[in-house]
Chain A
Amino acid sequence: MKVVTGVVGNDIHVVANRLIDISLAERGFEVFNLGVNTYLEEFLDAVIETDADVLLISSLNGEAEGWCRDLQILKSQYNFRDNVIFMIGGNLVVGETTAEEIVPRFKSYGFDLVFHQVDLNEGLDQLELFLKASK
C-alpha cells in the first residue's frame, strides 16, 4: 500500500518526519516522503502522481490549521479515486485546545483520520484498523 507523507507548511521537524517514514516502512507501506516544508498542493499532487492509498500529513509546530483548512476545496479540484484516506497527526494547534474540539474541526476540513498529541505507533495502529475496516 502506498503512503505519501511529509511535514506541512513552515514546519521543519525533520526528525519526526524521518521517524514516521521508518515506522511506515516497517509496517510494510511503500512510502513517498516529501520531507519538511511541504505545501498542501504538493501533497495532493504527489498522491495523484503515485496513485497513493493514504496521505499522512504531520505537523508539530501547531500551525497545521492555517496550512490545511483548504483541503476540502482543493480535493474538489482533483480527480482522486474514491478510497484515498486523508490523515493528519502531530501537535496540530497551540494552546489549551483539546482533541475533542480539534478532531471534528479537522474532519470538517476534509480529513478522515485526525490525531492530536497521540503517540505515533498508536496513530499508525488506528490507520491500519481503518484500512482493514474500509476494505
Chain B
Amino acid sequence: MNRLLIDIGSTYFKIAEQGKIEQYFRNFDKSILNDLESKCADVISSYNKDDVYICSSANGGLSTLIIGLSNSFSLKYAVNIAFNSGINIIDTVLYNNISNETPPKDNIDVVIIVGGINSVDNIFDEKIFEYLNNVNYQNIVFVGTEKSHNYLQNNIKDIVLLENIISDKLQIREDELKSYLTDLYQADIMGKEDIKQLYALTNNQIFSTPYIVNRALPKIHEHIDVADPFIVVDIGGATTDIHYSRDLVNDNILSSSGYDRLVFKKLGVYKSRESLVHIAKQNEFVFELLEHLNVTENILEEKSDEATRVLMQLSIFLVLYKVSKHHASYIELNLEILNNIILTGGITQVLTQEDVDNITLFFYKKILHFHHTPKIILDKNYEIWTYR
C-alpha cells in the first residue's frame, strides 16, 4: 500500500513517497496548507486522505513545567516521558526547594506534578498552591501518589489526575501520561489554524515529529547500516533534538522503546540563530574551535553561507558537549562507547562529510581525549523520517 508521508518543519517541509524524498523551503508568506498545495498539488491529490500521514514540529510544540519530589525518580521519570512525547521542558522544580524557586515567566501549556509511590501520604502542602498562584498555565496534571488525589483535587482547579508514573517498585510507568501529553499536543494543533488546516489533506492524526522519530528508531537498522549504541542528532532551524540508545545512559529507567529523546529548544541555525551564537560565546572551547576551522569570532556576527556552515559545525560541537560528562545537565551520555552518530535535519543539506568528520574529531580529541571517532552518517535524504 502506498503512503504519502509529510513532515512540516520550522524551515523546510519534506514529502516522502515510495522511498523518494523531496524537500521544499517554506514560504512564510503563505499558510502551510497553501504552501504545500502550491508546491506539490499533483502528488498530494494522487493520494487518498487515508494514505496521507503528517507530522509537524512547526507549531513550536507544547511547553511544560515539572514539579517533583526527587531528582532520581519523580523528576527524572516525568522529564523522560515529556521529552519522549515531544514536549519542551521549560523548567523543573524540586518540591523541597519550591519556596525558594522563582516561577517561570513563560506561558506554560501543562504543569506536571509528581511524587511518591501510591502508599505515601501527606507529601504536598500549601507551598505548592502558593507557587502555582504565580505560574501562568493552561493545563495541570498530577501523576504521583493516589493518596494525594483528594487533597490536590480540592485545592487546584481543573487538575487532571492520572495513574502514578512511579510504580510500587519504583519503576517508570509511562503509558497514561504519554497518552495525555500526546492528546494535549493534538488539542494544541487544533487550536493552531495553520496546522489544523492540514486535516484537509489527511484522515490520520497529526503527531509531533519527535514523537514519530522516537517510535521509528527501533527500525533504523532496516534502512541504515548502524550499530548500537548510536545517537541521532537532528539539528534544525529552530531546535536540536538528540535521540539516543538507552545503552548510553547509566540510570534507573527502563522504558519500552529503548530510545530516549532530549531537545535543546534554543539551538537552531535559522530561527534560533541568535541564541546559538550566545551559547557558543559562553563555551570555553569555542575560540579554539574557531581557530581550528581557520575563522575568527567575527564570523559569528555574519550572515553569509560560510557563517551558516561554521554555525552548523559549532552546533554539532555544542550538542555533543552538552551531553558529555563535562557538562552537568539532565542527561550524560557515555560518548566513549558510541558506534555511530546519525546527523539529520537542515544541517545535512549544507555540511559535507569532511566538515562533520572534522568537527567530531575535534570534539573527541579535545573533550574526550580520544583519537578516533564514531562513524558519522549524514542522512542527506532524510531517510530516517520515512520508516513505517
Q: Is A49 an interface residue (CB 8 A)?
A: yes
Interface members, chain A 73-113 (any B CB < 8 Å): 77-79
Residue tally, chain A, CB below 8 Å to B: 16
A73 to chain B: closest CB distance in Å? Answer: 15
Interface members, chain B 241-278 (any A CB < 8 Å): 250, 252
Interface residues on B, range: 10 to 19
User: When chains A and B are docked, how far (Å) is the Cα of A34 from the Cα of B170?
Assistant: 8
Q: Is A23 an interface residue (CB 8 A)?
A: no
Q: Is the CB of B116 within 8 A of A51?
A: yes
Q: Is the CB of A42 within 8 A of B117?
A: no
Q: Is the CB of B69 within 8 A of A32?
A: no
Q: Is the CB of B250 within 8 A of A46?
A: no
User: When chains A and B are docked, how far (Å) is the Cα of A51 from the Cα of B145?
Assistant: 11
Interface members, chain A 22-67 (any B CB < 8 Å): 32, 34, 37, 39, 41-42, 44-46, 48-51
A116 to chain B: closest CB distance in Å? Answer: 27
B309 to chain A: closest CB distance in Å? Answer: 41
A71 to chain B: closest CB distance in Å? Answer: 16
User: When chains A and B are docked, how far (Å) is the Cα of A134 from the Cα of B115?
Assistant: 28
Q: Is the CB of B117 within 8 A of A45?
A: no
Chain B residue numbers with a CB within 8 Å of A51 are: 116, 119-121
Q: Is the CB of A42 within 8 A of B166?
A: no
Grouping DSSP codes into helix (H, G, I), strand (E, B) and loop, the B interface class, with mixed when no group exceeds half, is: loop
Q: Is the CB of A41 within 8 A of B72?
A: yes
Chain A residue numbers with a CB within 8 Å of B252 are: 34, 42
With A37-B250, A42-B252, A79-B96 as known contacts, state yes or no: A49 contacts B169, CB within 8 Å: no
With A32-B170, A79-B96 as known contacts, state yes or no: A48 contacts B117, CB within 8 Å: no
Interface members, chain B 50-95 (any A CB < 8 Å): 69-74
Chain A residue numbers with a CB within 8 Å of B120 are: 49-51
User: When chains A and B are docked, how far (Å) is the Cα of A79 from the Cα of B121?
Assistant: 15
A residues engaging B (CB < 8 A)? Answer: 32, 34, 37, 39, 41-42, 44-46, 48-51, 77-79
Selected A-B contacts with CB under 8 Å, 9 pairs: A41-B72, A42-B252, A44-B70, A45-B72, A45-B73, A46-B72, A49-B69, A50-B119, A51-B120
